[in-house]
């Protein structure tokens, strides 16, 4: 069984400076909970009860978030704020959270290798990247775990990317249809292919379910693109030996590692909530109408000025 999820959170979050100068980017709130909480809740929904955070200096706030805070609990209890008290207590009961530090940023493959001692080389495990947010009630990871337990093979989450230029931002797979709908058999992977040279339109995203046999492969994987140990290169070694499973995403995904994706996640998640959604959607519709009217006025003014200039 897959009992452990590895969540690399050692990045500096430079795209969100200055907000991330003193606050880990994983702790930036999507509505009213930090982004990392959605990841850990997804892990718990999949049936996994053990999480290893691969952290770095300045990231202790992430561990603290999933620990007990007795003084806060006492203050909430004294004020009769039972709902908030239950919510923060539940955080410490979602999963068992552990941490190991990555001493220097040597790539995702190296971050995963840091988990070998905790996971064990005979055990399978999941890897989730905190920048990739799925729906708050997503069961996609559970489906990946089921596919791994059915086949014994590594399972990688994939998404279709229509724009060939954007494919250069991802690892891209070469694959053939699998035995089940939404599954493919991957026989090769290319990390960030040059435009026009991608083997397919299927890009790797931040969900993996891996056998412990990935660890010895990572130990012998030479640094690749950027001088880092790439998880994609180790997966390619596995795929060349025996095709691995790709599960194609069939639900929305938000890249919270970039500002636009972070904003769309915030809006999408808020719009789903009964306490916020109706008012938010009404405001958005009104605001969009105002923007369209403003654009129309600007267009009419430009046409009028053009006519005057040509007179």
Q: Minimal CA–CA distance to 214: which of 305, 115, 289, 139?
A: 115
Mean pLDDT of 262-269: 96
pLDDT at residue 85 greater than cutoff 70: yes
CATH of residue 85: 3.90.550.10
pLDDT at residue number 135: 93
In tens, the pLDDT along 30-48 reads 999 999 999 999 999 999 9
Entry field: residues in the chain: 311
| Cβ pair 13, 134 in contact under 8 A | no
Q: Which of 57-66, 163-172, 298-307 has the highest mean pLDDT?
A: 57-66
Beta-carbon contacts of 302 under 8 Å, excluding residues fewer than 6 positions away, are none
pLDDT at residue number 98: 95
Task: Sort strands 4-8 and 125-128 into parallel, antiparallel or unpaired.
Answer: parallel
Do 193 and 305 belong to one domain?
no
Mean pLDDT of 101-119: 92
pLDDT at residue number 222: 87
Do 24 and 163 belong to one domain?
yes
Do 142 and 206 belong to one domain?
yes
In tens, the pLDDT along 192-223 reads 888 888 899 999 999 999 999 999 999 999 88
Question: Which tokens in the block code for residue 244?
Answer: 């691995």
| Cβ pair 208, 141 in contact under 8 A | no
The CA R_g of the chain, rounded to the nearest whole Å, is: 22
Do 246 and 280 belong to one domain?
no
Residue 87 domain boundaries: 4-273
pLDDT at residue number 168: 86
Which of residues 241 and 51 earns the better pLDDT score? 51
pLDDT at residue 297 greater than cutoff 90: no
Question: Last residue of a domain, which of 273, 288, 303?
Answer: 273
Do 233 and 298 belong to one domain?
no
Q: Minimal CA–CA distance to 183: which of 164, 205, 202?
A: 202
Q: Which of 18-32, 189-203, 233-247, 278-292 is least confident?
A: 189-203
Question: Which tokens in the block code for residue 287?
Answer: 């605001």
Do 288 and 193 belong to one domain?
no
> In which residue are the tokens 């897959």 written?
2
Do 173 and 291 belong to one domain?
no
Mean pLDDT of 149-176: 92
pLDDT at residue 306 greater than cutoff 70: no
pLDDT at residue number 305: 65
pLDDT at residue 105 greater than cutoff 80: yes
Q: Which of 19-23, 113-117, 191-195 is least confident?
A: 191-195
Q: What percent of the chain has pLDDT over 70?
A: 96
pLDDT at residue 162 greater than cutoff 90: no
Q: Minimal CA–CA distance to 210: which of 127, 119, 106?
A: 127
> In which residue are the tokens 């991608």 written?
198
In tens, the pLDDT along 118-161 reads 999 889 999 999 899 999 999 999 999 999 999 999 999 999 99
pLDDT at residue number 58: 87
pLDDT at residue 307 greater than cutoff 70: no
Do 257 and 283 belong to one domain?
no
> Domain tally for the chain?
2
pTM for the structure as a whole: 0.90
Mean pLDDT of 171-178: 92
pLDDT at residue 298 greater than cutoff 80: no
Do 311 and 167 belong to one domain?
no
pLDDT at residue number 12: 86
Do 102 and 239 belong to one domain?
yes
pLDDT at residue number 126: 97
Beta-carbon contacts of 146 under 8 Å, excluding residues fewer than 6 positions away, are none
Do 90 and 205 belong to one domain?
yes
Do 187 and 291 belong to one domain?
no
């Amino acid at each position: 069984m897959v009992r452990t999820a590895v969540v690399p959170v050692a990045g500096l979050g430079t795209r969100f400076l200055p907000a991330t100068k003193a606050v880990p980017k994983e702790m930036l709130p999507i509505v009213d909970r930090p982004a990392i909480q959605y990841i850990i809740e997804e892990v718990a929904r999949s049936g996994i009860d053990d999480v290893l955070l691969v952290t770095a200096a300045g990231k202790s706030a992430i561990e603290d978030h999933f620990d007990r805070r007795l003084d806060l609990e006492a203050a909430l209890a004294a004020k009769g704020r039972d709902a908030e008290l239950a919510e923060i207590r539940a955080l410490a009961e979602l999963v068992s959270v552990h941490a190991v530090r990555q001493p220097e940023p040597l790539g995702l493959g190296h971050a995963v290798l840091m988990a070998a001692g905790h996971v064990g080389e005979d055990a399978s495990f999941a890897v989730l990247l905190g920048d990739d947010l799925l729906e708050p009630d997503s069961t996609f990871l559970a489906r990946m775990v089921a596919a791994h337990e059915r086949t014994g093979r590594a399972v990688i989450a994939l998404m279709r990317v229509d724009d060939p230029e954007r494919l250069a931002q991802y690892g891209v797979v070469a694959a053939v249809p699998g035995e089940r709908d939404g599954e493919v058999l991957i026989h090769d992977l290319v990390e960030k292919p040059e435009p026009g040279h991608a083997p397919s339109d299927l890009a790797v995203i931040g969900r993996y379910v891996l056998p412990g046999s990935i660890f010895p492969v990572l130990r012998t994987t030479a640094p690749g693109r950027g001088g880092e140990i790439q998880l994609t290169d180790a997966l390619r070694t596995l795929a060349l030996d025996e095709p691995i499973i790709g599960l194609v995403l069939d639900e929305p995904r938000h890249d919270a590692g970039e500002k636009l994706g972070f904003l769309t996640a915030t809006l999408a998640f808020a719009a789903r909530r009964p306490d916020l959604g109706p008012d938010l959607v009404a405001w958005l519709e009104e605001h969009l109408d105002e923007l369209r009217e403003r654009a129309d006025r600007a267009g009419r003014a430009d046409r009028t000025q053009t006519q005057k200039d040509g007179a």
